[in-house]
């Protein structure tokens, strides 16, 4: 039964996750954290961080991790298959029709409508991750005292990325090392 649930959850994500991986984060959170309680919000935040740092699409990495956690290796296979199968089918069908009707006004109008929706979904995911990393909760109703270390490291990382044009991998490693050192020092005090 758990394999069917894993497949259906990640098939829904694959089916309704328009806009790529970051736009899917709220949908995954609603299923995995809120509805099934397979992960806590803190574990989900950690999972998203790890999924961003590992190679491959974030949804597939998330599906594989959750599947492994809930159903072992077969759970990973089922959840990963659930996340990619709808996309394979949809992209194949859309590619056929797009190639045939790409010059029509209906297709152009549809693309104009989809863009702001995707931007909103990505903004929602970014806001949830920001709230989780700074306040320890993704809900405005249950905010804790802000984590000034996380806020500072985020700001420094953003500035270094924009001003000095360092590699994102270098910035992640440097801010990660700084975070480990700072959290260690402040846990002793």
By CB atoms closer than 10 A (0-12, 13-18, 19+), residue 104 is exposed
Q: Domain check: are 144 and 184 in the same one?
A: yes
Q: Helices 148-159 & 168-188, crossing angle to 10 degrees? A: 160
Q: Domain check: are 122 and 183 in the same one?
A: yes
Amino acid 69: pLDDT: 93
> Residue 134 CB: number of other CB atoms within 10 A?
17
Amino acid 49: pLDDT: 84
Final residue of a structural domain among 101, 126, 161 = 101
Helices (H), the chain: 2-16, 21-29, 41-53, 58-101, 105-135, 148-159, 168-188
Q: How confident is the model at residue 138 (pLDDT cuts 50, 70, 90)?
A: low
Rounded mean pLDDT, 36-49: 90
Q: Domain check: are 110 and 97 in the same one?
A: no
Q: How many domains does the chain have?
A: 2
Q: Domain check: are 96 and 116 in the same one?
A: no
Final residue of a structural domain among 59, 80, 101 = 101
Q: Domain check: are 13 and 92 in the same one?
A: yes
Give Dmax (Cα) for the chain: 66
Final residue of a structural domain among 101, 128, 144 = 101
Q: Domain check: are 60 and 97 in the same one?
A: yes
> Do residues 39 and 32 touch, judged by C-beta distance below 8 A?
yes
Instruction: Name residues whose C-beta falls within 8 Å of residue 9's C-beta, 6 or more positions apart in sequence.
Output: 31, 32, 36, 79, 82
**Domain housing 77:** 2-101
Task: Look up the pTM and report it.
Answer: 0.57
When comparing pLDDT for 136 and 30, which is higher? 30
């Amino acid at each position: 039964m758990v394999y069917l649930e894993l497949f259906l959850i990640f098939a829904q994500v694959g089916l309704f996750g328009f806009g790529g991986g970051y736009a899917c984060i709220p949908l995954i959170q609603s299923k995995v954290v809120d509805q099934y309680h397979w992960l806590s919000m803190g574990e989900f935040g950690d999972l998203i961080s790890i999924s961003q740092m590992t190679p491959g699409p974030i949804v597939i990495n998330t599906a594989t991790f959750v599947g492994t956690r809930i159903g072992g290796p077969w759970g990973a296979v089922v959840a990963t298959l659930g996340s990619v199968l709808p996309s394979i089918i949809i992209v194949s069908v859309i590619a056929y029709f797009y190639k045939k009707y790409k010059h029509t006004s209906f297709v152009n109008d549809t693309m104009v409508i989809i863009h702001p929706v995707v931007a909103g979904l990505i903004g929602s995911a970014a806001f949830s991750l920001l709230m989780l990393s700074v306040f320890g909760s993704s809900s405005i109703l249950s905010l804790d005292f802000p984590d000034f270390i996380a806020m500072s490291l985020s700001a420094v990382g953003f500035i270094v990325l924009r001003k000095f044009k360092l590699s994102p991998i270098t910035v992640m490693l440097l801010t990660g090392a700084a975070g480990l050192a700072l959290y260690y020092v402040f846990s002793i005090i």
